[in-house]
Amino acid sequence: MQISRFFSVSFLGLLLLGCTSYQPQPDIRWISIPDLAGSVQGRAPMAVGFDIDDTVLFSSPCFYYGQQKYSPGSDDYLKSQSFWNEINGGCDRYSIPKDVARALIELHQQRGDTLYFITGRPYTEGEQLTGILQKTFAIVDMQPVVFTSGPEKSRFIRERGLRIYYGDADSDIISAREAGARPIRVMRAGNSSYLPLPDNGALGEEVLVDSQR
């Protein structure tokens, strides 16, 4: 998702939702939900992890709102504690859950896997993101959201023993590999405020088909 995903100008906004048509490219290691289910069939329950912005939630509306309120025309809002207090404090009621996230979470819950959500957002007191995710995706055994305050997540992935990690950014893929987890790319929506869009599959990772929505 670069010094910090949240405090660099290149960040711009984390997130997704895709209305655009995407033509699969033959040189990418595409994987479908059925393929994924088959690859873990028969394996004991495991711990898996998800990035949040542009992976499970299309949260660009919250980031666009924050920019208009705190720093119209610039990315300075990403340095504002008030912005992070507000976005973590309930703005994600207006973020749009991704269809692919619903399918992945349903698959892993049916298997009895433990789910973790790891985000590069900074932690703020009174965060409501954990509760919003639990309600939105009907998560039975909800773990508190892990806030890393930046794109480096390998330590957090390793400490929780994650076997699979889903993310939209190159930093997610790299962090998962460094931690010994299986990285799987969820495509960022073409209308995300977090630009430029990544080059899906460029790191040799598996990429979920039609996962921009």
Catalytic residues: 51, 53
- Of 58, 60, 52, the residue nearest 119 (C-alpha): 52
Dihedral (CA of 209, 34, 165, 92) sign: positive
Three-class SS string for the chain?
A: CCCCCCCCCCCCCCCCCCCCCCCCCCCCEEECHHHHHHHHCCCCCCEEEECCECCCEECHHHHHHHHHHHCCCCCHHHHCHHHHHHHHCCHHHHCEECHHHHHHHHHHHHHCCEEEEEECCCCCCCCCHHHHHHHHHCCCCCCCCEECCCCCCHHHHHHCCEEEEEECCHHHHHHHHHCCCEEEECCCCCCCCCCCCCCCCCCCCEEECCCCC
User: In whole angstroms, what is the distance from residue 180 CA to residue 95 CA?
Assistant: 31
